[in-house]
Structure 1
Amino acid sequence: MNDSIKKMLRLIDKDLMITEISYEIFHKEKTLVINAILSPDPRTCRSCGSTVIDGNGKATVVKNGKKEIIVHFEQYNHMPMVMRLKKQRYTCKNCRTHWTAQSYFVRPRHSIIERV
Structure 2
Amino acid sequence: MTQTSYSPGLHQLLTLSVPNSNKLTAAQDFVLFTDTILQKYQLEKVGVVVHSFENDSFTIAVCLKESHICIHTWPEYNQLTMDIYLCNYLQDNTVKVKTIANDYIEYFQADVIKNFEINR
TM-score by length of 2: 0.33
Richer in helix (by share)? 2
TM-score by length of 1: 0.34
Greater relative contact order structure (CA < 8 Å, 6+ sep): 2
Choose 1 or 2 for highest CA Rg. 1
